[in-house]
Structure 1
Amino acid sequence: MNQEHSAERATPLTRIIDATLQRAGGWLPFDRFMALALYAPGLGYYANASRKFGQMPASGSDFVTAPELTPLFGRALAVQVAEALAKTGTDELWEFGAGSGALALQLLDALGDRVERYRIVDLSGTLRERQQQALARHVGKVEWLAELPETMRGVVVGNEVLDAMPVQLLARSGGAWFERGVVRRGEGFAWEDRPTELRPPVEVEGAHNYLTEIHPQAQAFIATLADRLKEGAAFFIDYGFPEAEYYHPQRHMGTVMCHRGHQADGDPLAEVGEKDITAHVDFTGVALAGQEAGLEVLGYTSQARFLLNAGILPMMEQASLAERTLAARLIHEHEMGELFKVIGFAAGEPWDALGFAEGDRSHTL
């Protein structure tokens, strides 16, 4: 099954993809293509020097995340982090994919002496430079790593990091399942489907054509984290669903989406390296990966309920009108409040974490 695609100008990144395609026999599964498009050293979207994070297109940015929207996000998250540090008896904070450094700054400012060391794991050298500038006044506490150490202790946070992990695409057509991959056709990249034994984790009802994703890399990441985190907790905030919603028969077009200039599009084969590529998170798969590797699920809920449990409303009451307006986007259902979810894990003895005190949806996973 072939699907044509528009012409794409040659760039150093597309030449690397072409060479990889040639070595692979002319066809790449989408997760390998996505990994190159996002993370190829110096050239992939998260490895190049483009602006990425910001509130408005005029800044040259592509999208806004909660910490860039308002510092109240980090202040509310810090309440949960402080409880987790106390409950686990640890004093280190870890962040994966720290972006502009905005969340790290908010957490460090809010937690003060409760954090002895703040460790950032980030693959992007250009983003690390931005983070170092943003965190200059905390320079004595912050350390950057390019990979996970063998052992970790402390509290882990990851905001919009799971959605940027490469996914495999599965397409059902005529009742048969195929893996969707990428080929070179003329001056552009194109889709090509190949028969596969891979399947979604649950059966998708119906006989209609269906496109979806599976998430082995995100699940492997959680399993590896579970193996390395000897004592502590972890909280991940991202957009996604439990598997019953993720693989709903009506969600037949998949969730892969691209972002550039604060505009969204569904074509990851165009403007490769110049825009973000994401997919929604299967939180059931994330929870199971953690549990099977020894973590305890502390809770799972919407971002709105998590932030309300953490006390964001009193913080908003003391903020300016402009700040309250921005913070409201974090909790309104039609904005980020419902689409974004939070899942928490404990490495060691679990407790009743305050972020999930009301509205816990763990039973839906």
Structure 2
Amino acid sequence: MDDTTDKLRGPDGTGATEISARLAELIRTEIAAANGLLPFDRFMDLALYAPGLGYYVAGAVKLGRDGDFVTAPEISPLFGRCLAAQCAEVLERFGGGDLLEFGAGTGTLAVEVLGALEHLDALPGRYLILEPSPDLQERQQTLIRERAPHLAERCAWLTRLPTALRGVILANEVLDAMPVHRFSIRDDGGIDEVFVTERAGDLREVTAPARSPGLADAVGALHAEGLAQAPGYGSEINLRLPPWMKALSPALDTGLVLLVDYGYPRPAYYQPDRTMGTLMCHLRHKAHGDPYTHIGLQDITAHVDFTAVAEAGVAAGFDLAGFTTQANFLIGCGIDRILSEAPDAFELTQGAKQLLLPTIMGERFKVMGLTKGIEEALCGFSIRDLSGRL
């Protein structure tokens, strides 16, 4: 473990080495309780969210230059201002409403969205944040008080989903952090599941016939579509997505759920040459494929199957309002106009390029809108709606 990583501290002041050791021991305990075969989704759940120890709930800096990765709100304030334009359009149709942000990171997106909505005279009644990490919650509160103190009273932090909200729910890079199951196809066409086990004190992965409820059926459904069939083919699948959508549905009575993440429609996600899936780890701005190192100190993600998101959303009672690339969405929300009107337009140009260029974020990231009670088209999907590719 390098010196930089070892300087990280948990919420109780514990050093990174000890945090990682405690979490690894917890995982070994669960492996033993699972008769030596822990489903990968449970391993990922513990690595990211184990109370006091997981990556997203311990005290290390995760976002920005001093963290492990950078998200769009940190790259440029234009991202938040464009999302605010979409939010303002929805709130105007309802004569007001509330916003809810999932996992607000550093709080940067909340600050930019609130500031832009104030400029548009379209402030929500409340800006709600559902944040599982006490450490991140504290950082968000501090940033909002520092950069938008007069708007801080509109913000409230939740421990559970609200009910019957009218307005907009924002989820930027939330779905990629949901634990996934992993599978592989045997030479005889059978479906194996990836498990985590312990050998000589080390965490390792092994495969065995799928046993997690619903996994074999879900992979069988991919086979029925002609996908993920070749012997040796391996990938991941998010079985938690339908229950998450079902739980999210009562939270929104009328309005828009806006999902921004990196991913693909299902045919591209499970294309034949993507034989190793999309699982990736991030540590100090370096990406690698080993989830069993730096336990609890690195991010673990998987790309999003947006076809599955749309299916789960519609099944939960939402309407699919649109699906497009991040570049198309930001252009539809008026990024050119917002940039031209900004007093610091020259300084913002480089960030705009990162948000829009196809080789950086413009096409890698996608945006999906799920709605209730909205019949009119949304500006973010006005340039090019790619829903037909799902």
TM > 0.5 between the two? Answer: yes
Question: Residue 295 of structure 1 contacts residue 348 of structure 1 at CA under 8 Å; is this kept in 2?
Answer: no
SS at match of 1:333: coil
Q: Does residue 256 of the first structure (1) align with residue 279 of the second (2)? A: yes
- Mapping for residues 155-174 of structure 1, pairs under 5 Å: 155-174=168-187
Deviates more, 1:43-52 or 1:17-26: 17-26
Cα separation, 1, equivalents of 2:287 and 2:238: 22
Change (3 A) 1:199 1:178: farther
Question: Residue 190 of structure 1 contacts residue 269 of structure 1 at CA under 8 Å; is this kept in 2?
Answer: yes
Question: Residue 85 of structure 2 contacts residue 333 of structure 2 at CA under 8 Å; is this kept in 1?
Answer: yes
SS at match of 1:149: coil
Query: Structure 1 residue 100: deviation in Å?
Result: 0.4
Cα separation, 1, equivalents of 2:250 and 2:36: 36
The partner residue of 2:86 within 62, 80, 88 is 80
Change (3 A) 1:314 1:90: closer
Q: TM-score w.r.t. structure 1 length? A: 0.93
Question: Residue 56 of structure 2 contacts residue 133 of structure 2 at CA under 8 Å; is this kept in 1?
Answer: yes
Change (3 A) 1:21 1:88: farther
Amino acid at match of 2:133: S
After superposition, what is the alpha-carbon deviation per residue over 1:83-117, rounded to whole angstroms, capped at 9, x for unaligned? 11122444100000100000001011111252110
Amino acid at match of 1:188: D
Q: Does residue 110 of the first structure (1) align with residue 116 of the second (2)? A: yes
Question: Residue 234 of structure 1 contacts residue 345 of structure 1 at CA under 8 Å; is this kept in 2?
Answer: yes
Question: Residue 254 of structure 2 contacts residue 374 of structure 2 at CA under 8 Å; is this kept in 1?
Answer: no
Q: TM-score w.r.t. structure 2 length? A: 0.87
Query: Structure 1 residue 205: deviation in Å?
Result: 5.8
Cα separation, 1, equivalents of 2:297 and 2:154: 33
- Mapping for residues 279-358 of structure 1, pairs under 5 Å: 279-317=302-340, 318=342, 319-358=344-383
Query: Structure 1 residue 322: deviation in Å?
Result: 3.2
Deviates more, 1:321-330 or 1:118-127: 321-330
Deviates more, 1:108-117 or 1:283-292: 108-117
SS at match of 1:103: helix
Query: Structure 1 residue 219: deviation in Å?
Result: 2.9
Cα separation, 1, equivalents of 2:265 and 2:87: 24
Amino acid at match of 1:308: I
After superposition, what is the alpha-carbon deviation per residue over 1:112-171, rounded to whole angstroms, capped at 9, x for unaligned? 252110000010000001000011112211111122134333210010000000000011
Query: Structure 1 residue 314: deviation in Å?
Result: 2.1
SS at match of 1:11: helix
Aligned to 2:207: 193
Query: Structure 1 residue 324: deviation in Å?
Result: 0.5
After superposition, what is the alpha-carbon deviation per residue over 1:309-337, rounded to whole angstroms, capped at 9, x for unaligned? 11111222344433211121000000000
Cα separation, 2, equivalents of 1:198 and 1:179: 12
Aligned to 2:102: 96
Report the number of matched residues.
354
More strand by share: 1
Deviates more, 1:333-342 or 1:81-90: 81-90
Deviates more, 1:234-243 or 1:182-191: 182-191
Deviates more, 1:249-258 or 1:216-225: 216-225
Amino acid at match of 2:125: E
The partner residue of 2:167 within 154, 165, 175 is 154
Cα separation, 1, equivalents of 2:43 and 2:279: 13
Cα separation, 1, equivalents of 2:135 and 2:229: 46
Amino acid at match of 1:49: G
Aligned to 1:4: none
Question: Residue 177 of structure 1 contacts residue 199 of structure 1 at CA under 8 Å; is this kept in 2?
Answer: no
Q: Does residue 133 of the first structure (1) align with residue 142 of the second (2)? A: yes
After superposition, what is the alpha-carbon deviation per residue over 1:7-31, rounded to whole angstroms, capped at 9, x for unaligned? x996111111111122222211111
Amino acid at match of 2:348: E
Question: Residue 242 of structure 1 contacts residue 282 of structure 1 at CA under 8 Å; is this kept in 2?
Answer: yes
Cα separation, 1, equivalents of 2:371 and 2:331: 21
Question: Residue 329 of structure 2 contacts residue 381 of structure 2 at CA under 8 Å; is this kept in 1?
Answer: yes
Cα separation, 2, equivalents of 1:205 and 1:268: 22
Deviates more, 1:19-28 or 1:257-266: 19-28
Question: Residue 259 of structure 2 contacts residue 368 of structure 2 at CA under 8 Å; is this kept in 1?
Answer: yes
Gaps of 5+ in 1: 1-7
Query: Structure 1 residue 198: deviation in Å?
Result: 4.1
The two structures, once aligned, show a CA RMSD in angstroms of: 1.6
Cα separation, 1, equivalents of 2:176 and 2:228: 25
Amino acid at match of 2:204: A
Change (3 A) 1:152 1:315: closer
Question: Residue 95 of structure 1 contacts residue 121 of structure 1 at CA under 8 Å; is this kept in 2?
Answer: yes
- Mapping for residues 198-277 of structure 1, pairs under 5 Å: 198-200=217-219, 201-203=221-223, 204=227, 207-277=230-300
SS at match of 2:240: helix
After superposition, what is the alpha-carbon deviation per residue over 1:43-66, rounded to whole angstroms, capped at 9, x for unaligned? 100001111110x3xx2x100000
Question: Residue 98 of structure 2 contacts residue 165 of structure 2 at CA under 8 Å; is this kept in 1?
Answer: no
Gaps of 5+ in 2: 1-16, 211-215
Cα separation, 2, equivalents of 1:103 and 1:326: 15
Cα separation, 2, equivalents of 1:85 and 1:168: 37
Q: Percent identity?
A: 42
Change (3 A) 1:148 1:186: same
